[in-house]
Chain A
Amino acid sequence: MIPEQSFSHSHSAHCESGVMSLMMSHHGLPLSEAMVFGLSGALMFAFIPFVKIGGMPLIAYRTRPKGIINGLQKNLGLRMQMHTFSRPEKGVEKLDVLLEQGKFVGAQTSVFWLPYFPPEMRFHFNAHNLIIYGKEGDEYLISDPVFETSKRCKQSDLTKARFVKGLMAPKGLLYYPVEMPGDINYESILPKVIRKNAKAMLKTPVPIAGIRGIRSLAKSIMKLRKKDPRYAKLFLGHIVRMQEEIGTGGGGFRFIYASFLQEAGTILTNQQLREASAMMTAVGDQWREFALLAVTAIRSKKGGPIQFEALREKLNSIADAESSVYKTLLETRLG
């Protein structure tokens, strides 16, 4: 049985972890956004040159969309009900029925077709997440965690955003918990998810993910020397956009993970975890230094050559620093 209660919005750094944190908290399991992110093992790095988005290679600093929802289900024993729809009318009908039952419903949408996003932020990204918590007349009441306040959206607009086709098409996806986990045994779960995530970053079989992904990105920067300078600048801008703009709270999700490590250290009264958190903070700071270097290069006018070497070295230094955090985490006795 899911208790009915009034909904209160809160501001998060990232859409999917924000939605799941709010949703869990409203169903009697208060979990911070950072906890949700860490417990689902969502920290990642991927550089996939042969998958192109907007003509640029795929670069991601977290696991794939829905990774957080699925990770929580797997690691906490939570069970979510997911609905997708073949026809928009059916999707609207189902949403309205769920809202009438008093449910708060998670939904996947496009960013581009949501009118409450300012034009400057509207790009074609189809894996945005938000919570719909009510309907008044023709308007849905929306808690979009990346905004400070709750929003409203017309039925026709939300439907367009829910049923956009293409890459990562949401197919009207709606989700809500049907089985909440009982007490969470942090002493056993936290060490497991931390070690698993560290291993995933360190021991990847292919050089497109984890630390090896960062190093191959560093290598590919050197290849830009032979490319058209405009492409080189767009490529650098793309790396930074994925790191800073696409719902990361800055530093490519490294700060949110540092916050998770700190919270885990407090729960387990483990000083070493708190130290690992500080190390991860330093990694996030280095990602920001990289962003600054890249933007300086982008701004350099004709004649000012791009410092490719410096950018490569920064990425390699990030790879070194990150891998030492994960090695520390694997060596630490976590309980």
Chain B
Amino acid sequence: MESSKVPQDNISTYADNKKAFYATDGDGNYTLVPSSGWEVEEAVTIQALLELERLTRRAHKEVIAGKSSPLYFHMYACRMDLQVLAETTGIFKWRIRRHFKPAVFNNLSKAVLERYSNALGISIKDLCSLPDLSENDT
């Protein structure tokens, strides 16, 4: 890539940051060029973010409908999935799946809730409740 072709698309997902790109100058010598981003990269990052948002909103609806516990929502709100939550908490997937059931979740001990609250970086009080999504843009 030539330095004049290094994309400077001011992409939203860099949030006013720049990344360093390796590119060649007029004599073909490599230099580092700060880039405000390539729209192709922006497109795939937004795609990933939208997918996370879709899962989060779907989970939100399920919790409201009483089909799932708030834990299910907070897992996605924290950009995790079952795999990552299991790895971060050290709790087996099948146990977490049980904890997605409202009846089981409501009877969890403080110790288990604490493990979830630590992993998700939210208080136990927040873990057990559901935020209003219209204010919260996750």
Contacts and interface: CB of A to CB of B under 8 A. Distances in A.
B48 to A, nearest CB: 6
Contacts of B89: 165
Given A234-B51, A250-B1, A123 B19 contact: no
A118 to B, nearest CB: 3
B88 A118 contact: no
B13 A295 contact: no
A38 to B, nearest CB: 12
Interface residues of A, number: 54
B121 interface: yes
Interface stretch (A22-30, A73-81, A130-138, A255-263): A255-263
A11 B29 CA distance: 19
Given A167-B87, A262-B30, A278-B28, A241 B17 contact: no
Pick from B28, B32, B84 the residue with the most CB of A within 10 Å: B32
Given A148-B34, A244-B38, A250-B21, A295 B14 contact: no
Interface stretch (B39-47, B66-74, B97-105, B128-136): B39-47
A118 B29 CA distance: 32
Contacts of A52: 83
A278 B41 CA distance: 24
Interface string B70-86: 00000000011101100
Contacts of B19: 13, 146, 249
Contacts of B13: 118, 120-121
Q: Chain B binding site: helix, strand, loop or mixed by DSSP?
A: mixed
Contacts, number: 129
A72 B43 CA distance: 35
Contacts of A120: 12-15, 45, 49
B17 A147 contact: yes
A3 interface: no
A281 B1 contact: yes
B80 A124 contact: yes
A69 to B, nearest CB: 20
B23 A299 contact: no
Contacts of B17: 118, 121, 147-148
B22 interface: yes
Interface string B107-135: 00000000000010100000000000000
16 contacts: A11-B32, A11-B34, A13-B20, A13-B32, A55-B81, A121-B15, A146-B20, A233-B47, A237-B47, A240-B44, A249-B21, A258-B22, A281-B1, A284-B1, A294-B44, A298-B47
Q: Which 5 residue pairs across A and B have the least CB separation, nearest first?
A: A118-B15, A166-B87, A259-B30, A255-B22, A120-B13
Interface of A: 11-13, 33-34, 52, 54-55, 112-113, 118-124, 146-148, 160, 164-167, 233-234, 237-238, 240-241, 244-245, 249-251, 255-256, 258-259, 262-263, 277-278, 281, 284-285, 288, 291-292, 294-295, 298-299
Given A284-B1, A291-B40, 15 more contacts: A11-B32, A55-B83, A118-B14, A118-B15, A160-B121, A165-B89, A234-B47, A240-B40, A241-B48, A244-B38, A245-B41, A245-B45, A249-B20, A263-B30, A298-B43
